Structure 1
Amino acid sequence: MSLPKTLAAGAFLCGSALALAQDYLPILQYHHVDANTPRATSVAPDEFREHMDYLKSAGFQVVDLPQALTAIKAGEPLPEKAVAITFDDAYRNIYENGFPVLKEHGFPFTVFINTGPIEKGHSSFLTWAQMQEMEQSGGVFANHTVSHPYMLRLKDGETHEQWRARMAHEVNAVEQLLNDKLGHSPKMLAYPYGESNAEIREQLAEQGMIAFGQQSGVVDQHSDFTNLPRFPAAGHYANLSSLKVKLNAKPMPLLSFEDQGEFASHQPVSMTLNFQGGNYRLKDLACYVAGQGKAKLEWLEANQVKVQAEQAFPVGRGRINCTMPDQSGRHYYWFSNVWIHASADQAYVTEKIKKN
Structure 2
Amino acid sequence: MYHSVADRPAAAAYGLSVTPSAFARQMALLAERRFTPVTTAELGAAWRSGVLLPHRTVLITFDDGYEGVHRHALPVLREYGFPATLFVSTGWVRGPHEAPGACDTMLDWEQVRQLAAEGVEVGGHSHTHPQLDQVPDARLTFEVTRCREVLAEHLGTAPVSFAYPYGYSSPRVRRAVRAAGFAQSLAVGNGLAHRRQGPYALERLTVRRTTRIEEFARLVEGRAVARTFAGDRALTKGYAVVRRSRQVLGRVTGTRVRD
Q: Fold conserved (TM > 0.5)?
A: yes
Aligned twin of 2:98: 120
Are 1:141 and 1:185, in contact at CA under 8 Å, matched by a contact in 2? no
Q: Could you tell me which amino acid in structure 1 is paired with residue 174 of structure 2?
A: R
Are 1:110 and 1:140, in contact at CA under 8 Å, matched by a contact in 2? yes
Are 1:152 and 1:348, in contact at CA under 8 Å, matched by a contact in 2? no
Q: Could you tell me which amino acid in structure 2 is paired with residue 232 of structure 1?
A: T
1:77-100 per-position Cα deviation (integer Å, ceiling 9, x unaligned):
111111110000101111111111
Higher strand share: 1
Q: 1:139 aligns with which of 95, 111, 120?
A: 120
Q: Does 1:40 align with 2:21?
A: no
Q: State the Cα distance separating 1:148 from its structure 2 match.
A: 0.5
Shift of the 166–291 alpha-carbon distance from structure 1 to 2, 3 Å rule, reads closer
Aligned twin of 1:59: 34
Are 1:106 and 1:137, in contact at CA under 8 Å, matched by a contact in 2? no
Q: Across the two proteins, how many residue pairs are aligned to each other?
A: 244
Shift of the 286–39 alpha-carbon distance from structure 1 to 2, 3 Å rule, reads closer
Aligned twin of 1:82: 57
* Structure 1 unaligned regions, length at least 5: 1-28, 155-162, 253-284, 293-312, 321-337
Aligned twin of 2:240: 339
Q: State the Cα distance separating 1:136 from its structure 2 match.
A: 2.1
Q: State the Cα distance separating 1:180 from its structure 2 match.
A: 1.1
Q: Which of these two proteins has the greater Rg computed from alpha carbons?
A: 1
| Residue aligned with 2:177, SS | helix
| Residue aligned with 2:148, SS | helix
* Structure 2 unaligned regions, length at least 5: none
Aligned twin of 1:18: none
Aligned twin of 2:110: 129
Query: Using the alignment, how far apart are the partners of 2:152 and 2:34 within structure 1?
Result: 35
Aligned twin of 1:184: 157
Q: Does 1:318 align with 2:236?
A: yes
Q: State the Cα distance separating 1:41 from its structure 2 match.
A: 0.8
Q: State the Cα distance separating 1:347 from its structure 2 match.
A: 6.4
Q: Could you tell me which amino acid in structure 1 is paired with residue 138 of structure 2?
A: A
1:282-328 per-position Cα deviation (integer Å, ceiling 9, x unaligned):
xxx98975279xxxxxxxxxxxxxxxxxxxx6xxx5249xxxxxxxx
Q: State the Cα distance separating 1:239 from its structure 2 match.
A: 1.7
Aligned twin of 1:266: none
**TM-score of the two chains, using structure 2 as the length reference:** 0.83
Could you say what the CA RMSD is over the residues aligned between the two structures, in angstroms?
A: 3.0
Q: State the Cα distance separating 1:125 from its structure 2 match.
A: 1.2
> Within 5 A, what are the aligned runs for 1:152-167?
152-154=133-135, 163-167=136-140
Q: State the Cα distance separating 1:139 from its structure 2 match.
A: 1.0
Query: Using the alignment, how far apart are the partners of 2:215 and 2:221 within structure 1?
Result: 10
Are 1:73 and 1:221, in contact at CA under 8 Å, matched by a contact in 2? no
Aligned twin of 1:290: 231
| Residue aligned with 2:133, SS | coil
Query: Using the alignment, how far apart are the partners of 1:289 and 1:55 within structure 2?
Result: 24
Q: 2:206 aligns with which of 232, 250, 272?
A: 232
Are 1:34 and 1:45, in contact at CA under 8 Å, matched by a contact in 2? yes
Shift of the 96–289 alpha-carbon distance from structure 1 to 2, 3 Å rule, reads closer
Shift of the 229–136 alpha-carbon distance from structure 1 to 2, 3 Å rule, reads same
Query: Using the alignment, how far apart are the partners of 1:211 and 1:349 within structure 2?
Result: 28
Aligned twin of 1:223: 197
Higher helix share: 2
Q: State the Cα distance separating 1:204 from its structure 2 match.
A: 2.3
